[in-house]
Structure 1
Amino acid sequence: MWARQLADLDPMGEIFSGRYELVDPLGRGGSGDVWRVWDHRDSRYLAGKVLQQSDSASLLRFVRETGWRFDHPHIVAPLGWVGEDDRIMFSMPLVHGGAVSALLTERGPLPPGYVAGIADQMLDALEIIHEAGLVHRDIKPANILMEPNPSGLPDARLADFGIAAKVGEPRMTRVAEVVGTPGFMSPEARMGADPEPAQDIYSLGVVMAQLLTAGRPVGEEPPVLAAEQRVTPLGRFIVACLSDVTGRFPGAAEARQELARVRSGLGLARIAIPDRTPALPPGWGPDGPDSSTKPLPGVRPANRGPRITASPSPLSGPSIPSQRMPAAPNRVPAGQASAPQGVPYGGARPRNGGYGGPPGGGTPPNQGPRPQTWSPAPGSGPRPSGPVPRSPGPQSPVPQSPASVNMPRARASSGTTAKDIVLGAGITAGVALIVIVILLLL
């Protein structure tokens, strides 16, 4: 009935905190619903307990339950917890054999050796719990889970620490409020006494009586043992667990020590425990969700195809060597000719109407080697006044004298320039003017 109600809510497929996906409901506890969940991070099935109530006391109990960490083969300890919006969930190992209450429903009374084996494992777990100063307070068949064992011997796990409490700590309940399952609570717990380890011993005695007789508690009274059962060593042990608090075992260690003597006279009992985990719903397999299920938000699907790497752009690729030649030094050692004319530089033509390069391309003035000095061939006459014509092909080098190397406009070794003629005429006119002035003064 409860599974149908949960299915009507249709929370399956919901993912908590991007990690735990609800698969299907497994059971309902006193403080929350238990689901089979898929852990997307560790790729395994776990049991997840989702908080059923949201009041402050229940929330605090729920968070405290996640703090009880026990590494013990007979304790189903929480692995971690996550919160999302107004709900929280903690994960724990998935036990496949179901609760011992299901075994009791199927088989009826269990063999004494099997009952003693389950009790020994529960006392082994309670011994660790009591040593930590904790009282479980809710030991009952529904909270004892069975794991299938190929040998047939019992493999029981104590679960559900939802109402566990520390000994001596402030209580989270009101004065008139009692926490526990009716029929499995000790008389002092029903009266509101503070949690004590002996209360767990009483609850375990009720469980043993129920497993041995297949009866249920009647009101607040435990199942009644038959007269022949009460006189057996196991019957006397159960009666001692159910006695008044003054005559009861004070803790799990003392009770287990006594049970070891009882078990020595009992034979081993074997029961094949089936895997009671429900079949996986459609879309799920032993290795998790099928490929048809949607991926987690923000998780890249595994089959998106090969990754395409973009080709590097000209700006991000390898640098291309510059076509611009380094500037030539201003001075050339004496005895060496200057660079030959007509060598292409590979530079671009300037846009400001300045000098262009040679026909094969060249570097604008002042951005490469210094412009070469024009040297006329012997017997060619004075330098023309206009621009020097340039041939379309490469030109042969023209040797220069050492004196002309460092002077961009120096005179050649032969011939007279227009500048020299103008300068000479000016000097002559000046000298004639001085002579005329002297003659007038005489």
Structure 2
Amino acid sequence: MIDRPRPIIGPDYLVAGRYRLQSKIGGGGMGAVWLALDRLLNRDVAIKQVLTTAGLDEATARAVREQIMHEGRVAAKLSHEHAIAVYDVVLEAGEPWLVMEHLPSRSVARALALVETLPPVEVAQIGAQVADALAAAHAAGIVHRDIKPGNILVADRGPEVGKAKLSDFGISSGAGDPADHQDGIITGTPSYLPPEVARGAVPTTASDVFSLGATLYTAIEGQPPFGFDDDSDAVVARAAMAQIIPPTRSGVLTAALLHMMEPAPQRRPSMAEARDEILTAAFGPGTAPYILGAPVRTEDGTIPAWAARNSASGQRSPHSTPLPRPHRQHAGAQAAPQQQQRLGSGTGSGGGFSSNPGAPLAIAAGLLIGLVLVIAIIIVAL
């Protein structure tokens, strides 16, 4: 059989007669990600191109193709406002392409490269939103298996600016799918592996809980729970022994994060419980409606500078409200009378109105006395 030359993939290339490639916007273990125009619906989409299987033996090439088709099937089961939507899986030049929602965004990994650490109040919002999406995924029988800062996106412009979304179900497993895990084969990113997976166990929903906790820990502390190390085997070894570096910056989230990162899977909360623990610790009970579906905000209700481009940063979102502050209510109640006392003191300068009702009479009396003295001086002079 004569091998046909493979097409050159680049800008303006038309995929499946429908998706016009525009520019490369990312990449990963499975291949490049392109921004493309869906000519049928006239909207921007993101398309993940599988790395070429040229040069691979047929069995390996088939496995690669099946993997991306599997990703499409698994991700298409999930529809959630905090998860990247999958629209289509198509074949082009014998290779599968995954068509997804395009979210102009910055990953948490990229944000950390810019600012090193994120405030716990902002991490709590990201964590609650992603946990809500994962709770829905777990209810649908989906285990993500690769939660990390690079797979959490925060929209940095457009109508959804500030909203967090989970991406990349590339190594996910779904209920009813054939078992694809081999004993002793570790799946996931070493820095965020739960101990049982680092020891070779099959990932479960409890594994996702640990990995999300490790990801949020990293965003707050500025380093993964097992520390930095160029030797991935050393990181896996520390993960297997659950050698977590005690957090020092997590504040009110400390207990919730350590619960998520319990060494024993059965001691961890479910993903829905983890979401609720994060919300309660940071904002108080019953605050989910203020956090879920809303953009990530600073304590004063503005979009963080790291999460937005140009004029959006530092501005209040038209779809948001100030964050609940249950831990500051007492301090605020004490500050109010002090502020009222300052406003009513009448001792300030600058031409402000006095709060003393007798002040106008005193001023009039002073003017009258002054006038009498002037007249007296004139009479004496004459």
Same fold (TM over 0.5): yes
Superposition pairs of residues 27-426 of structure 1, within 5 angstroms: 27-52=26-51, 54=53, 55-67=61-73, 68-69=75-76, 70-148=78-156, 154-166=162-174, 169-216=177-224, 217-218=227-228, 219-220=235-236, 221=238, 228-229=248-249, 232-246=251-265, 248-264=267-283, 268-269=298-299, 270-272=303-305, 273-275=307-309
CA distance in 1: counterparts of 2:165 and 2:150, whole angstroms: 11
Structure-1-length-normalised TM-score: 0.55
Q: What SS does structure 2 have at the residue aligned with 1:24?
A: strand
Letter in 2 for 1:144: I
Q: Which moved more, 1:118-127 or 1:243-252?
A: 243-252
Q: Please name the residue that 1:363 is paired with.
A: none
Residues in 2 aligned to 1:119 and 1:205: alpha-carbon distance in whole angstroms? 8
| d(CA) in 1 for partners of 2:16, 2:9 | 18
SS at match of 2:103: coil
Distance change in 2, residues 1:83/1:249 (3 Å): same
Name the residue aligned to 2:24. 25
Q: Secondary structure at the match of 1:42?
A: coil
Kindly provide the amino acid, as one letter, of the partner of residue 68 in structure 2. Answer: F
Q: Is the 8 A contact 2:140 2:175 kept in 1?
A: no
Distance 2:130 2:265 in 1: 22
CA deviation profile, 1:10-68 (whole Å, cap 9, x unmatched):
62221111111211111112212111011111112111111126433332221121122
Residues in 1 aligned to 2:9 and 2:31: alpha-carbon distance in whole angstroms: 16
Partners of 2:139 and 2:111 lie apart in 1 by: 30
**Partners in 2 of 1:87 and 1:271 — Cα distance?**
40
Residue 248 (structure 1) shift = 3.7
Q: Distance in 2 between matches of 1:247 and 1:173?
A: 21
Confirm or deny: 8 A CA contact 1:225 1:235 kept in the other structure.
Answer: no
How far apart, in 2, do the equivalents of 1:259 and 1:144 lie? 17
Amino acid at match of 1:274: A
What amino acid does structure 1 have at the position aligned with 2:220? Answer: L
Rounded Cα–Cα distance in structure 2 between residues aligned with 1:226 and 1:37: 44
RMSD of aligned alpha carbons: 2.7
Label 1:226 to 1:195 Cα distance change in 2 as closer, same or farther (>3 A). closer
Structure 1: gaps of 5 or more residues: 1-8, 277-442
Give the paired residue count.
267
- TM-superposed CA distance for 1:88, in Å, is 1.4
Shift of 1:190: 2.0
C-alpha distance in 2, partners of 1:179/1:13? 35
Q: Residues 64-103 of structure 1: CA distance to partner in whole angstroms, max 9, x if unpaired? A: 2112222211000210111022211111111112211111
Instruction: Describe the SS at the equivalent of 2:106.
Output: coil
Contact 2:65 2:95 (8 Å CA) reproduced: no
In structure 2, the CA distance between the partners of 1:249 and 1:205, relative to structure 1 (3 Å rule), is same
Shift of 1:213: 1.6
**Distance change (3 Å), C-alpha of 1:40 and 1:151:** closer
Shift of 1:195: 2.7
Instruction: Return the offset for 1:152.
Output: 10
SS at match of 1:122: helix
SS of the aligned residue for 1:98 comes to strand
Q: Equivalents in 1 of 2:143, 2:129: separation in Å?
A: 16
Q: Distance in 2 between matches of 1:22 and 1:46?
A: 9
CA-to-aligned-CA distance 1:314-355 (integer Å, 9 cap, x gap): xxxxxxxxxxxxxxxxxxxxxxxxxxxxxxxxxxxxxxxxxx
Cα distance in structure 1, aligned partners of 2:23 and 2:159: 29
For 2:254 and 2:188, the matched residues in 1 are separated by 25
Find the aligned partners of 1:185 and 1:159 in 2 and give their Cα distance. Answer: 18
Cα displacement (A) at 1:105: 1.0
Name the aligned partner's letter for residue 70 of structure 2.
Answer: R
- The answer to whether the 8 A contact 2:247-2:254 is kept is no
With normalisation by structure 2, the TM-score equals 0.64
CA separation in 2, counterparts of 1:264 and 1:98?
A: 25
Q: 2:139, 2:122 → 1: CA distance?
A: 26
SS at match of 2:45: strand
The one-letter amino acid paired with 2:66 is L
Q: Which SS does the other structure have where 1:79 is aligned? A: strand
Identity %, equivalent residues = 29
Letter in 1 for 2:44: Y
Q: 1:169 to 1:14 in 2, by over 3 A?
A: closer
Structure with the higher helix share, 1 or 2? 2
Question: Greater Rg, structure 1 or structure 2?
Answer: 1
For residues 245 and 49 of structure 1, the distance between their equivalents in structure 2, rounded to whole angstroms, comes to: 36
Local SS of the residue matching 2:65 = helix
